[in-house]
């Protein structure tokens, strides 16, 4: 089994005890921040790259919280002073203090919400690129066509965000769709925006080949894997079986005349990945290894998450691939995300890459769920 290193979210967030006050939490984190800054200046820590990287991540997470806490502590002090002035014998002073007190209390409520959002533990995969796999499920050719449609929506959304995508492997149907397509996405906040796409996507529409106009229902599956680096996953050469074969599909005469396609089997787990998109066997092997590392990384993370299943219930959906997460109803111009009961009525725009409203709604609901779970 590959050795996998991943960050425990608990490293960043100390769950408060029952009725633990926000002020006490911030004071605790301020002390932790000072301690981390002190350690980062030590020569022994800077020489240990793993320890230095871990502390730097914690420092980055705590910095905005510490800055906000300074403003928060000052506001609490102002509220205490204004509360005393409200009892002043001076009528004018009393009225002025009362008015300022009400404003300060409203501001405190706003800051409470802002700080709680900052306290949400960062996703351990934030900052990672992703590998997306889209596969046709029930529905025959229509499912394959929707794979192509969703691939186009995703890549257009990627382009609008300045992200780079690259196809790793594909299996075209010959009528404009795909039985499956695998591609990478590289850029800022890719995981943040794509992690909720995992699951079953159902489409309801009239196929172009349907003469009677009957609405057809089909489904496809989407898997989103955080890309793992070599430091995240250790893969032993003796655990791999690597096969070469002649690629099929588009690509010209060269593709069909050389054994450039690569299939890699990870013997301990039975995971198989393939890549035939490049003409070079070396490039196909590199891409296939990237997918294999991601799959092994995901497998280990899922094993870890099963141990903390109670925390998973606080997420928006489980991310399980068998879960129907979204329905695209073309006749009604409606897309419904079943995890949060949210619908949009601009299906054409979404399929052309305008996914932002849907995804940002999911992110907001996930933050709300985490805040409730944190019980601050």
Q: What is the pLDDT of residues 123-179, one digit of tens each?
A: 777 778 899 999 999 888 999 999 999 999 999 999 999 999 999 888 998 888 999
Residue 318 in this model has a pLDDT that exceeds 70: no
* Domain ranges for the chain: 8-119, 130-227+308-371, 234-305
Cα 254 to Cα 287: distance, rounded to the nearest angstrom: 19
DSSP, residue by residue, 15-67:
PPPTT--HHHHHHHHHHHHHHHHHHHTSHHHHH-HHHHHHHHHHHHHHHHHHH
Cα 290 to Cα 273: distance, rounded to the nearest angstrom: 10
Q: What is the pLDDT of residues 169-223, one digit of tens each?
A: 889 988 889 999 999 999 988 998 999 999 999 999 998 767 677 899 999 999 9
Q: What is the pLDDT of residues 34-71, one digit of tens each?
A: 999 999 888 887 788 888 888 888 898 899 999 999 99
Query: Where does the pLDDT of residue 359 fall: very low under 50, low under 70, confident under 90, or very high at 90 and above?
Result: very high
- Note whether 130-227+308-371 and 234-305 share their fold: no
**238: how many CB neighbours lie within 10 A of its CB?**
7
Q: Please give the structure tokens belonging to residue 110.
A: 């706003």
Q: What is the pLDDT of residues 61-106, one digit of tens each?
A: 899 999 999 999 999 999 988 988 888 778 888 888 888 989 998 9
pTM beyond 0.85: the answer is no
Please state which CATH class domain 234-305 belongs to.
alpha beta
Q: Are 231 and 142 in contact (CB under 8 A)?
A: no
Average pLDDT of every residue of the chain: 81
Q: What percent of the chain has a predicted confidence (pLDDT) above 70?
A: 84
Q: What is the pLDDT of residues 243-283, one digit of tens each?
A: 888 776 554 444 455 678 899 999 988 899 988 877 788 88
- The b-or-e profile of 314-352 (16+ CB within 10 A means b, else e) is ebbbbbeeeeebbbbbeeeeebbbbbbebebeebeebbe
Position 183 scores a pLDDT of 94
Fold of 130-227+308-371: Alpha-Beta Plaits (3.30.70)
Query: Where does the pLDDT of residue 13 fall: very low under 50, low under 70, confident under 90, or very high at 90 and above?
Result: very low
Position 375 scores a pLDDT of 39
Strand order in the sheet with 178-186: 164-172, 178-186, 130-136, 216-226, 199-205, 324-329, 334-337, 342-344
């Amino acid at each position: 089994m590959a050795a996998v290193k991943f960050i425990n979210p608990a490293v960043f967030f100390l769950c408060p005890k029952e009725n633990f006050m926000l002020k006490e939490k911030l004071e605790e984190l301020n002390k932790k921040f000072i301690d981390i800054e002190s350690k980062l200046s030590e020569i022994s820590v800077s020489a240990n790259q793993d320890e230095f990287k871990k502390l730097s991540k914690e420092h980055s997470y705590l910095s905005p919280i510490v800055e906000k806490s300074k403003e928060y502590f000052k506001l609490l002090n102002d509220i205490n002073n204004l509360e005393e002035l409200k009892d002043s014998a001076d009528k004018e002073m009393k009225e002025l203090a009362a008015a300022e007190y009400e404003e300060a209390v409203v501001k405190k409520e706003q800051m409470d919400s802002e700080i709680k959002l900052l306290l949400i533990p960062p996703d351990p995969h934030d900052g990672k690129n992703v590998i997306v796999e889209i596969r046709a499920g029930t529905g025959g050719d229509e499912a394959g066509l929707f794979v192509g449609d969703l691939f186009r929506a995703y890549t257009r959304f990627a382009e609008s965000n300045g992200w780079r995508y690259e196809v790793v492997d594909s299996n075209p149907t010959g009528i404009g769709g795909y039985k499956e397509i695998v591609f990478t996405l590289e850029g800022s906040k890719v995981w943040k925006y794509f992690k909720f796409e995992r699951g079953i996507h159902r489409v309801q529409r009239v196929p172009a080949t349907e003469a009677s106009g009957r609405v057809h229902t089909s489904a496809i599956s989407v898997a989103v894997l955080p890309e793992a680096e070599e430091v995240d996953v250790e893969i032993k050469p003796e655990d791999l079986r690597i096969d070469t074969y002649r690629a099929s599909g588009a690509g010209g005469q060269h593709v069909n005349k050389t054994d450039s396609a690569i299939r890699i089997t990870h013997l301990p787990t039975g995971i198989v990945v393939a890549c035939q998109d490049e003409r070079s066997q070396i490039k196909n092997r590199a891409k296939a290894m990237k997918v294999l590392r991601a799959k092994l990384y995901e497998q280990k993370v899922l094993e870890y998450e099963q141990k903390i299943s109670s925390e998973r219930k606080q997420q928006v959906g489980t991310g399980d691939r068998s879960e129907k997460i979204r329905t695209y109803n073309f006749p009604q111009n409606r897309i419904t995300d079943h995890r949060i009961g949210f619908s949009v009525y601009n299906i054409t725009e979404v399929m052309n890459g305008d996914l932002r409203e849907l995804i940002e709604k999911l992110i907001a609901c996930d933050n709300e769920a985490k805040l409730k779970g944190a019980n601050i």
